């Protein structure tokens, strides 16, 4: 009697509903009809194409450097080969974000804040505030509280205005810092918190706006 063939394993669905991306896009377009957006995630050509279709001008700074699939670190203009070169090993520091003040209507921080040393997080957040136009917004993700190992980490891919997917980072040297909600609010003390949502994975999705008062 022939043994039954094993069924092929189903691909893991890493997509999730975003409660903040549509609001991010609406707000950047209110600041500027053709908004400049800074992407701090791992280079994703699909994101550049999606944002471009919405009238955005995209710059990319992969922060911190990490590897996910066959990708290469992008330049400021978002130009880079998405096939071939792979950045290996732990993330390495990038030079300071050398853009003039008030260069962007929005910043897609993804999980960059959680993937840098906590001592540098406040400085990065202040740099983002400096780079934003008044009313500009930041979209960021933070893994769940200590002990949570299911939080999203890696390359964020935009599937639509209300849906994202995460491709897990291949590098083993990309730890994430777990922040409590009060620590997140403290980091963004000079911003207006538009929304902080809890995803099923335990990750927090955070949308903040540069206060017009500061």
Q: What share of the chain is helix, strand, coil (3-state, %, to 5)?
A: 20, 25, 55
Q: Specify whether the CB–CB gap between 71 and 87 falls below 8 A.
A: yes
Euclidean distance between CA atoms 33 and 166, whole angstroms? 28
Q: What is the predicted pLDDT for the residue at 27?
A: 97
Question: How many other CB atoms sit within 10 Å of the CB of residue 88?
Answer: 10
Quickly state the pLDDT bin for 63 (edges 50, 70, 90): confident
pTM: 0.79
> What residue has token string 């400021």?
76
In order of their start, the domains of the chain are 15-210 (3.40.50.150)
Structure tokens given for 10: 């189903």
Q: How far is CA 62 from CA 49, 172, 198, 199, in A?
A: 17, 17, 25, 24
Q: What is the predicted pLDDT for the residue at 154?
A: 78
Q: What is the mean pLDDT of residues 82-95?
A: 41
131-152 as b/e: b if 16+ CB within 10 A? bbbebbbbbbbbbbeeeeeebb
Quickly state the pLDDT bin for 76 (edges 50, 70, 90): very low
DSSP 154: E
Euclidean distance between CA atoms 171 and 180, whole angstroms? 25
Question: How many other CB atoms sit within 10 Å of the CB of residue 178?
Answer: 17
Euclidean distance between CA atoms 211 and 192, whole angstroms? 6
Q: What is the pLDDT of residues 98-150, one digit of tens each?
A: 899 999 999 999 999 998 888 899 999 999 999 999 999 999 999 876 555 44
How do beta strands 57-60 and 132-142 pair?
Answer: unpaired
| Ramachandran quadrant class, 209 (left: phi over 0; alpha: psi -120 to 50; beta: rest) | beta
Question: How many other CB atoms sit within 10 Å of the CB of residue 89?
Answer: 12
Q: What is the predicted pLDDT for the residue at 8?
A: 52
Q: Specify whether the CB–CB gap between 210 and 136 falls below 8 A.
A: yes
Q: Specify whether the CB–CB gap between 206 and 146 falls below 8 A.
A: no
Q: What is the pLDDT of residues 22-51, one digit of tens each?
A: 999 999 999 999 999 999 998 899 999 999
């Amino acid at each position: 009697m022939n043994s039954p063939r094993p069924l092929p394993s189903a691909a893991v669905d890493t997509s999730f509903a975003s409660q903040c991306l549509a609001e991010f896009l609406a707000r950047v377009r209110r600041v500027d009809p053709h908004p400049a957006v800074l992407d701090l995630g791992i280079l994703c050509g699909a994101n550049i194409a999606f944002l471009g279709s919405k009238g955005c001008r995209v710059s990319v700074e992969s922060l911190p450097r990490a590897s996910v699939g066959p990708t290469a670190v992008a330049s400021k203009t978002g130009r880079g080969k998405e096939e071939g070169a792979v950045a290996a090993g732990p993330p390495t520091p990038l030079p300071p974000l050398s853009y003039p003040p008030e260069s962007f209507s929005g910043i897609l921080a993804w999980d960059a804040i959680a993937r840098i040393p906590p001592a540098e997080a406040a400085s990065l957040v202040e740099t983002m505030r400096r780079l934003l136009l008044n009313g500009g917004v930041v979209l960021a993700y933070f893994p769940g509280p200590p002990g949570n190992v299911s939080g999203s980490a890696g390359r964020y891919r935009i599937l639509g205005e209300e849906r994202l997917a995460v491709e897990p980072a291949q590098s083993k040297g990309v730890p994430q810092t777990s922040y409590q909600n009060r620590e997140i609010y403290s980091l963004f003390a000079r911003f207006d918190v538009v929304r902080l949502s809890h995803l099923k994975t335990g990750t927090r999705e955070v949308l903040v706006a540069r206060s017009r008062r500061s």
